[in-house]
Amino acid sequence: MAKNKGELTYIEDDSKRKTTCKKRKASLVKKMNELTTLCGIEACAIIYDPNESQPEVWPSHPEVQRLISKLMEMPEMEQKKYMFNHESFLSKNLNKARDQLKRVRDENKRMEMELFMFQCLNVGCIINTSNTVDTNYLLFVINQTIKDIQWKESRHQRQHGTVVVAASTEEPLNEEVANVHEMEQANMGAMQLQDWSSDSTNDGGNMMLPFGDNSNFSSGFWPSPSFP
């Protein structure tokens, strides 16, 4: 504590406490970011600040959920293993249970990825992919979504023009990804990008989405969308 020389007691003054809290929360989050980035470890934090309407989590809600799950799962899994080893009559159901578990896991993973994808799109970037999400699966989900978009969009080409979004790797493993390029060729339309950043006045009104107060979106989540 600068200028306070180690006085580690509750700050009675409301204003001072609030200010300090805000500053220190920011610093703490920065420190967590540094720790996880520099050392490549996983960490999360939950902070309940009465000054905020909602608890603050770091680095993101899905990641916190994942780490919490990881924490909660540890003792349970050992317990299960123990039980399976000792209750022989359960062993005949083992394969069945495993399949079930796998299905549930896949479903959870899918939901997590879809939620994550939503958040990425909402914020505009991939959020803290280091050590947090299965990027391969995320890409699978994105490709699936893109495929849906393309399929549905193709029914409206004549009305609205065409937009193509494509995902690729060096060696696309599935048909969907491969077809992306074909569609990209086929759908080359007559559209041009305008300079969106100019001060043109003919677009602002159309840009507004009728969601009223946009403040929800200004308090996004962490890490930053890093808009250029």
Candidate list 5, 31, 94, 182; residue touching a second copy; CB under 8 A:
31
Binding of DNA by 19 (CB under 7 A): yes
Q: Is 223 exposed, middle or buried (0-12, 13-18, 19+ CB in 10 A)?
A: middle
Q: Does 76 bind a second copy (CB under 8 A)?
A: yes
Q: Single out the residue of 49, 93, 182, 186 in contact with a second copy (rule: CB under 8 A).
A: 49
Q: Which of 5, 59, 94, 95 binds a second copy (CB under 8 A)?
A: 59
> Residue 169 corresponds to which tokens in the numbers above?
């790797």
Could you say which residues in the range 123-142 bind a second copy, by CB under 8 A?
123-126, 128-142
Using CB distances below 5 to 8 A depending on partner kind, what does residue 99 bind out of DNA, a second copy, none? Answer: none
Non-local CB neighbours of 20 within 8 Å, separated by 6+ positions: 11
Which of 175, 144, 150 is closest to 165 using CA atoms?
A: 150
2 contributes a contact to a second copy by CB under 8 A: no
What is the 8-class DSSP label of residue 182?
Answer: H
Greatest pairwise CA separation for the chain in angstroms: 74
Q: How far is CA 70 from each of CA 76, 109, 154, rounded to the nearest angstrom? A: 10, 13, 42
Listed ranges 25-33, 78-86, 156-164, 182-190: which one lies at the site for DNA (CB under 7 A): 25-33
> What is the binding site for DNA (CB under 7 A)?
1-6, 15-16, 18-20, 22-24, 26-28, 30-31, 34, 38, 92, 96-97
